[in-house]
């Protein structure tokens, strides 16, 4: 099953509509419009991109998708609040722990990640404090 936005018709519906319009206008059927990629990814640092999903200003937390390119490294940091990571693809190494797709890591407030990197590149869902301290 292919995911799509609510406002984009399925490929088969698009083809039927395009053929019908072409038949009524005497033109050629047009191809499907390019797929919209969804919310923009922002480059947070070289090799690290983020897509903000939600901000909880009251609790000073964010949820986001994070992508690390192969070889990218996130700076050491101390968690101001609970940090939760859910792996979607690739492998993420946090200190001496390797996280694979489907795995989850919860880090308590006050703990420090000394080294966070990906040899393969990866994507994860991250829920964290906006007050984390980079080292």
- Range with the poorest average pLDDT among 11-15, 43-47, 60-64, 68-72: 11-15
The whole-model pTM stands at 0.70
Rg (the chain; Cα; Å): 21
Q: Are residues 52 and 96 in the same domain?
A: yes
Instruction: Residue 25: give the domain boundaries.
Output: 7-36
Beta strand 61-68 with 122-129: parallel, antiparallel or unpaired? antiparallel
Q: Are residues 110 and 54 in the same domain?
A: yes
Domain assignment present for residue 21? The answer is yes
Q: Are residues 87 and 48 in the same domain?
A: yes
Q: Are residues 68 and 82 in the same domain?
A: yes
Cα separation, 49 vs 90, whole angstroms: 15
The total number of structural domains in the chain stands at 2
Tell me what the mean pLDDT of segment 63-68 comes to. Answer: 96
Q: What is the dihedral of CA 43, 47, 110, 62, to 10 degrees?
A: 30
Q: Are residues 64 and 14 in the same domain?
A: no
Domain assignment present for residue 1? The answer is no
Domain assignment present for residue 73? The answer is yes
């Amino acid at each position: 099953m292919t995911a799509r936005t609510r406002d984009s018709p399925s490929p088969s519906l698009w083809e039927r509509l395009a053929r019908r319009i072409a038949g009524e206008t005497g033109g050629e059927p047009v191809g499907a419009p390019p797929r919209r990629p969804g919310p923009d990814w922002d480059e947070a640092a070289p090799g690290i991109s983020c897509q903000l999903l939600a901000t909880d200003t009251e609790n000073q937390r964010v949820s986001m998708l994070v992508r690390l390119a192969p070889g990218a490294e996130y700076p050491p940091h101390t968690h101001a609040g609970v940090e939760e990571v859910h792996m979607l693809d690739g492998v993420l190494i946090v200190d001496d722990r390797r996280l694979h797709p489907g795995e989850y890591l919860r880090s308590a407030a006050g703990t420090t990640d000394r080294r966070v990197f990906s040899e393969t590149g990866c994507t994860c869902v991250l829920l964290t404090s906006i007050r984390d301290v980079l080292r």
